[in-house]
Structure 1
Amino acid sequence: MTNRPALVVHARGTADVQDAVRAARDHDLPLSVRGGGHDWLGRGVRDGALVIDLAGMRRVEVDARAGVATVAGGATATDLVGAASPHGLSAVTGTVGGVGVAGLTLGGGYGLLNGRFGLALDNLLAADVVLADGRAVTADATHEAELFWAIRGGGGNFGVVTSMRHRLYRVDPILAGMIFYPLPQAATVLDRLNEILSTAPDELTMAVAMLTDPGGAPGVALIPAWSGDPASGGAHIDRLQRLGSPAFAKVGPTTCVDMLRANDEQGETIGHHVASRTRSLPHFTPGTVSALVEAAATFTSPLSRVLCGQFHGAAARVPVESTAFGLRREHIMATIIGWWPPGDAEPHQTWADTVSEALAGDALPGGYPNGLGPADTEQIAHAYGPNAARLRAAKTHYDPSNTFTATPLP
């Protein structure tokens, strides 16, 4: 699919965004907002639309004393973490540095610090938002409180976020890396991993990936991050390395900046194509394990993978009604990624659909809104859990003309 916008506005500040929103309204143009430009579904660049490109708004200012970063709407995770690092601070982001902070945060923000500090959206203190009528407002706990509730999980459906305030933490160094088990061991490793995940302290958050090693052999990679006392982390990593016989293991002290950089290096595939699906899993059930092993055994491209992020600890203790994010029970967020160089898309899209359907039987209702497209109607209907009606009411109030359609609402 190739989307060709009618017009692109390269915004440099809030006034540019306001002018663009009003121009789209006055000329009856559909509107989309491009932040980090990482969305595999292409929602940042709508066909025939006026696109507001925030790439020129990447400034990050750090108040080290207050432990707060002010982040412009086009800043990436690397911009944020890189600005905080010289002050001995870091932020809750995702796992890839090139992802836009705004889009990640508004939809949720899974990452390797979630167990200790919650989702990215749980660390949003305030946001400056340009609404559909062109007004600029500030949303926080005491100003435009319903808008502040809605944008924390409701995605970019309510306006253009031109600036945010994020809470920062002192966490570096962390203990992180990768432990890779060949595919014949994957079922046993995933089954044994359940016990570790169910009892993991907040300081340990895991990602699990079905992927290929540098030689092209498929397997399962355990990607832990220990953000607590460095002296206590070794025992947890040792348990992960004893789940089988690893083909290789590289875990050691690192920083959040370097962890993001390492993941960016693994994903340098500009110009490639992606088919993405998402499922929320209660844990690694026998059916889930079987589906994941089969997914790796049938990769149609060595770039394809299934990424599974652990949701637990602090993120799971936030009351579900506190933000629009609709799933606060412990779970595993699986992202199925068919990834291939230019060429025939059909086998890769079919692979992604097949894996998604194989996981559906044991999956929780709904899915991660940041990974759902317009065709995922059944999952969208449950994606916001008990918050759906309140979220629809907020949408009607703040954007009755449905100007902003960044993520699907039920």
Structure 2
Amino acid sequence: MSATSAATDDTAIRLLRKHLGERLIVAGDGAFAGARRVWNAAVTSRPAVIARCADAAEVSLAVSAAADAGLPLSVRAGGHDWAGRALRDGGLVVDLTGMRGAHVDTAARTVTVGGGATAADLLAVTTPHGLVAATGVVSSVGMAGLTTVGGYGGLIGRAGLALDNLLDADVVLADGSTVKAGPDGDSELWWALRGGGGNFGVVTRLRYRLHELPAVLAGMLMFPFEESAAVLAGYAEIVAEAPDELTVMCGFLPGPDGRALPFLCPFWSSGDLAAGERAVARLRSLGHPIVDQVGPVPYPAALAMFDGNISDRNSYLLRSRWFPEMSPIAADALIAGAAALPSPYSALIVNRFHGAAARVDPAATAFALRTPHQVAEVIAVWTPGETPERHRAWAGSVVTALDPIALPGGYPNLLGPEEDERARASYGANLDRLLRAKRRYDPGNVFASAVPALIG
């Protein structure tokens, strides 16, 4: 580092220290290691400065300070991006983890959350009123990162993607100004924000539509490995004709002995629980469940099923493909991948896109793929001290087997930085408009570490 750049960094640090005090953390501080840490131990990037902001004004100050100092900028909201794009070597992190407030308006059936709020933060204030929002399937995931790229979840059939339920948002732009993105504010930014990720600014506030749902019929069915083909074939038949109220995840999770077992995870989001029980009974009949834990639970409890699968001591690598349906080729690829599972922590998870999400005009938001489809998450996990090569090879082999039936592009939230070309392809006819929005709102590519990278 040159003397000039060091002096510039010091000027930025002094400015931010004046406003943030101990919430400004620099390399060498005792709190730095903990503040830098994210859930994926494979992420080793070391920023120079972490600015834990409390409101939009502090976010604006941090963005401007980074620009003045020439520091690479990144944003940490929920911090759940597996590739660790919330951290950049030698950069300044705008840390929103302290901005997790949530306020519910029961009369309007809306909820407003801070830019660092997780699904758990949101649901904590809505569930007592029998109201829920469309979220992902893990309660620790940040709502901003989830929403601005998509938001597949258990309510997708009934309520759509998380981004389909975003009513408006406050965004700090690259020049430090704050705008309201929404139908009554900056409508072009609102369009781009719903699918284009964090490419346009720092989202400091989000407001969502809520849905009445006191309980969801959900849980886990796991079957013997030998029944994998029958379970996946039956799943394909059931979801092809499923009503909006029934969304089913499937795939393979490690069983008690570490061997991968096929699973079905239904979410029935209607008050007609008798109809839901009939739907679950049909899923149950596809084999001989060795785990059968499906019942009516509050929606947050349904999300908690997957929370325990994450350990911040382990290293993670994700690969992903979109494909139209659970065809025999898809099933064979997943079964072969499950048979070769490289660790008792790795998994194959398939989410379903259908119903309300599939009835949105592809041009209405930046998220363009609005036909029913599946998204496969190939999750390779290894423990401290292990080398990643065989785990990477396994993940690559599974998606390569899916390539003959894969749709163009992929869900950007699951793709890595080396797959940005694939991510851009996912926007189809919307890409040119999205790139124009990038040039309009962030011409200097300040938010270069966003998911996905938008260039051109």
For the superposition of Structure 1 and Structure 2, which TM-score range results when normalised by the shorter chain? over 0.9
Q: Which moved more, 1:342-351 or 1:143-152?
A: 342-351
Kindly indicate whether residue 393 of structure 2 is the aligned counterpart of residue 353 of structure 1. Answer: no
1:255 equivalent among 278, 291, 298: 298
* Aligned equivalent of 1:344: 387
Provide the C-alpha distance between the structure 1 equivalents of 2:420 and 2:294, rounded to a whole number of angstroms: 40
Gaps of 5+ in 1: none
Q: Is the 8 A contact 2:251 2:334 kept in 1?
A: no
Kindly indicate whether residue 403 of structure 2 is the aligned counterpart of residue 363 of structure 1. Answer: no
| Structure 1 residues 6-47: Cα deviation after superposition (integer angstroms, max 9, x where no partner) | 110000111110001001111111110001111111011111
* Aligned equivalent of 2:357: 315
Provide the C-alpha distance between the structure 1 equivalents of 2:256 and 2:102, rounded to a whole number of angstroms: 35
Provide the C-alpha distance between the structure 2 equivalents of 1:369 and 1:236, rounded to a whole number of angstroms: 31
* Aligned equivalent of 1:331: 373
Aligned residues: CA RMSD: 1.1
* Aligned equivalent of 2:187: 145
| Structure 1 residues 232-272: Cα deviation after superposition (integer angstroms, max 9, x where no partner) | 1111001001112222211101011111223212x241221
| Structure 1 residues 317-362: Cα deviation after superposition (integer angstroms, max 9, x where no partner) | 0000000002100000111100121121111111111111111111
Structure 1 counterpart of 2:249, one-letter code:
A
* Aligned equivalent of 1:6: 48
Kindly indicate whether residue 244 of structure 2 is the aligned counterpart of residue 205 of structure 1. Answer: no
Gaps of 5+ in 2: 1-42
Provide the C-alpha distance between the structure 2 equivalents of 1:38 and 1:381, rounded to a whole number of angstroms: 21
Q: Please give the TM-score of this superposition, normalised by the length of structure 2.
A: 0.88
* Aligned equivalent of 1:182: 224
Q: 5 Å matches for 1:164-183?
A: 164-183=206-225
| Structure 1 residues 111-130: Cα deviation after superposition (integer angstroms, max 9, x where no partner) | 00000000000000000000
* Aligned equivalent of 1:238: 281
2:97 equivalent among 55, 60, 75: 55
Stretches (4+) displaced over 4 A = none
Shift of 1:377: 4.5
Provide the C-alpha distance between the structure 2 equivalents of 1:108 and 1:248, rounded to a whole number of angstroms: 31
Q: 5 Å matches for 1:272-283?
A: 272-283=314-325
* Aligned equivalent of 1:407: 451
Structure 2 counterpart of 1:263, one-letter code:
F
Shift of 1:213: 1.3
Kindly indicate whether residue 378 of structure 2 is the aligned counterpart of residue 372 of structure 1. Answer: no
Kindly indicate whether residue 178 of structure 2 is the aligned counterpart of residue 136 of structure 1. Answer: yes
Shift of 1:4: 0.2
* Aligned equivalent of 1:155: 197
Q: Please give the TM-score of this superposition, normalised by the length of structure 1.
A: 0.98
Provide the C-alpha distance between the structure 2 equivalents of 1:188 and 1:370, rounded to a whole number of angstroms: 30
| Structure 1 residues 168-216: Cα deviation after superposition (integer angstroms, max 9, x where no partner) | 1111211000111122111121112111111000000011121211232
Shift of 1:378: 4.6
* Aligned equivalent of 2:11: none
The structure number with the bigger radius of gyration is: 2
Q: Secondary structure at the match of 1:223?
A: strand
Q: Is the 8 A contact 2:350 2:374 kept in 1?
A: yes
* Aligned equivalent of 2:158: 116
* Aligned equivalent of 1:28: 70
2:431 equivalent among 388, 392, 398: 388
Provide the C-alpha distance between the structure 2 equivalents of 1:138 and 1:13, rounded to a whole number of angstroms: 15
Provide the C-alpha distance between the structure 2 equivalents of 1:198 and 1:136, rounded to a whole number of angstroms: 44
Provide the C-alpha distance between the structure 1 equivalents of 2:421 and 2:196, rounded to a whole number of angstroms: 17
Q: Is the 8 A contact 2:224 2:262 kept in 1?
A: yes
Q: Is the 8 A contact 1:182 1:218 kept in 2?
A: no
* Aligned equivalent of 1:69: 111
Provide the C-alpha distance between the structure 2 equivalents of 1:136 and 1:193, rounded to a whole number of angstroms: 46
| Structure 1 residues 346-394: Cα deviation after superposition (integer angstroms, max 9, x where no partner) | 1111111111111111111100011122211452241112110000000
Gap change, CA 1:355 and 1:387, over 3 Å in 2: same
Structure 1 counterpart of 2:180, one-letter code:
T
Provide the C-alpha distance between the structure 1 equivalents of 2:303 and 2:218, rounded to a whole number of angstroms: 11
